[in-house]
């Protein structure tokens, strides 16, 4: 069952972030886009650490969308190498910080070396009990919903599920995120006002926080400000 977002705490249980603006950050400084991605990885490291310190239980990062495969091959190859390096170099720190790594998306689309490194890091951190870091990789919200429908149809065809039993909670069990609560807060950097095919089902009742800050400049102080704004909002989930 997909858990309801929290209502009684000032710190969100689950934060989801669209990390946008690496390319713009680099362009503004006359640097290659790859440098923006490299510095953006430093923001990831700082935000993961900050979330653990603040008591956030789940952090989902939109690391690579299904549409990102359309980018120039050189940039995609660089992103995959950066991902692999990040996982290899930061897994020891995740172990030290008690972070449990997970991933969602069509992971089979990743290069085999990335898949191997990802699975190894997930296995190494599987017993950790602190922050759960969820990387959305080769992820698309529409694709997830389609895959969920296929899973539902298969369950009905095999006789494991009666079609009359299908509701929102049942459907949630067939999504990539079935093991996690829905996000309470969605943060998007760089000022863009769209979801970009990110967690379309799960963000139904999340609070949105949009900031003009580009992702490489989004660090702990900016995260604390987003949480402060979130804490001031009253969440009624359609009630009064």
Instruction: Quickly count: other Cβ atoms within 10 Å of residue 123's Cβ.
Output: 10
Structure confidence by residue, pLDDT tens digits, 214-229: 999 999 999 999 999 9
pLDDT number for residue 5: 47
User: Length of the chain in residues, anyone?
Assistant: 240
- Which residues contact residue 29 at a Cβ distance below 8 angstroms, ignoring those fewer than 6 apart? 35
Catalytic, out of 22, 68, 128, 147:
68
Instruction: Quickly count: other Cβ atoms within 10 Å of residue 33's Cβ.
Output: 19
Tokens of 141: 């919200």
pLDDT number for residue 38: 93
- Verify whether residue 197 is a known catalytic residue: no
Closest CA to 226 of 215, 214, 210: 210
Structure confidence by residue, pLDDT tens digits, 34-47: 999 999 999 999 99
Structure confidence by residue, pLDDT tens digits, 68-97: 999 999 999 999 999 999 999 999 999 999
Tell me the fold of 16-141+181-231: Undecaprenyl pyrophosphate synthetase (3.40.1180)
Q: At 132, phi and psi to the nearest 5? A: -95, 115
177 burial (CB, 10 Å; 0-12 / 13-18 / 19+) is buried
Q: Are 131 and 100 in contact (CB under 8 A)?
A: yes
Rounded to two decimals, the pTM is 0.93
pLDDT number for residue 2: 47
pLDDT number for residue 235: 75
Whole-number average pLDDT of the chain: 94
Question: Token pair 């898949």 is at which residue?
Answer: 115
Q: At 54, phi and psi to the nearest 5? A: -85, -10
Catalytic, out of 20, 22, 182, 184:
20
Residues of the chain with pLDDT under 70: 1-9, 236-240
Closest CA to 127 of 96, 99, 89: 99
Q: At 73, phi and psi to the nearest 5? A: -55, -40
9 burial (CB, 10 Å; 0-12 / 13-18 / 19+) is exposed
């Amino acid at each position: 069952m997909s858990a309801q977002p929290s209502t009684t705490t000032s710190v969100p249980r689950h934060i989801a972030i669209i990390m946008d603006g690496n390319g713009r950050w680099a362009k503004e400084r006359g640097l290659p886009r790859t440098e923006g991605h490299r510095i953006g990885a430093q923001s990831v490291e700082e935000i993961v650490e900050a979330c653990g310190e603040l008591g956030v239980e789940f952090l989902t990062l939109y690391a690579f969308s299904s549409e990102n495969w359309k980018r120039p091959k050189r940039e995609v190859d660089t992103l995959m190498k950066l991902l692999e390096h990040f996982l290899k170099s930061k897994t020891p720190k995740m172990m030290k910080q008690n972070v449990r790594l997970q991933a969602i998306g069509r992971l089979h689309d990743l290069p085999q070396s990335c898949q191997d490194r990802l699975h190894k890091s997930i296995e190494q951190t599987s017993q950790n009990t602190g922050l759960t870091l969820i990387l959305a990789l080769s992820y698309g919200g529409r694709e997830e919903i389609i895959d969920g429908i296929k899973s539902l149809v298969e369950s009905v065809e095999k006789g494991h599920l009666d079609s009359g039993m299908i509701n929102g909670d049942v459907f949630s069990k067939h999504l990539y995120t079935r093991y996690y609560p829905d996000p309470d807060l969605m943060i998007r950097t760089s000022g863009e006002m769209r979801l970009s095919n990110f967690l379309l089902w799960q963000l139904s009742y999340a609070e949105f926080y949009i900031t003009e800050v580009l992702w490489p400049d989004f660090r702990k102080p900016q995260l604390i400000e987003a949480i402060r704004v979130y804490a001031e909002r009253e969440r009624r989930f359609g009630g009064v």
